[in-house]
Chain A
Amino acid sequence: GAVVSQHPSRVICKSGTSVKIECRSLDFQATTMFWYRQFPKKSLMLMATSNEGSKATYEQGVEKDKFLINHASLTLSTLTVTSAHPEDSSFYICSAYPGQRETQYFGPGTRLLVL
Chain B
Amino acid sequence: KNEVEQSPQNLTAQEGEFITINCSYSVGISALHWLQQHPGGGIVSLFMLSSGKKKHGRLIATINIQEKHSSLHITASHPRDSAVYICAAAPYSGGGADGLTFGKGTHLIIQP
Q: Which residue numbers of A lie inside 8 Å of B, CB to CB? A: 31-32, 34, 36, 38, 42-46, 49, 59, 91, 93, 97, 99, 101-109, 111
A51 to chain B, nearest CB (A): 9
Across the interface, do A49 and B41 meet the contact criterion of CB distance under 8 Å? no
Across the interface, do B105 and A59 meet the contact criterion of CB distance under 8 Å? no
Closest to B42 in A: A108
Bitwise, B15-28 to A at CB < 8 A (1) or not (0) is 00000000000000
Q: List 17 A-B contacts (CB under 8 A).
A: A32-B97, A36-B102, A42-B104, A43-B105, A44-B86, A44-B88, A44-B102, A45-B102, A49-B98, A91-B41, A101-B96, A102-B95, A102-B96, A103-B96, A104-B100, A106-B42, A106-B44
Across the interface, do B42 and A46 meet the contact criterion of CB distance under 8 Å? no
Across the interface, do A97 and B102 meet the contact criterion of CB distance under 8 Å? no
Number of residues on chain B facing chain A (CB within 8 A): 21
B41, B48, B103, B105: residue with the most chain A Cβ atoms closer than 10 Å = B41
Q: Which residue numbers of B lie inside 8 Å of A, CB to CB? A: 33, 35, 41-45, 48, 86, 88, 95-105
Instruction: Report how far A108 CA is from B45 CA in the complex, Å.
Output: 11
Residues on B with beta carbons closer than 8 Å to the beta carbon of A36: 99-100, 102
Across the interface, do A104 and B96 meet the contact criterion of CB distance under 8 Å? yes
Residues on A with beta carbons closer than 8 Å to the beta carbon of B41: 38, 91, 93, 108-109, 111
Q: A43-B105, A109-B42, A109-B43 are in contact. Are A101 and B86 (CB under 8 A)?
A: no
Instruction: Report how far A38 CA is from B35 CA in the complex, Å.
Output: 14
Across the interface, do B99 and A43 meet the contact criterion of CB distance under 8 Å? no
Kindly identify which residue among A46, A49, A104, A109 contacts B45, using a CB–CB cutoff of 8 Å: A104
A43, A49, A59, A111: residue with the most chain B Cβ atoms closer than 10 Å = A43
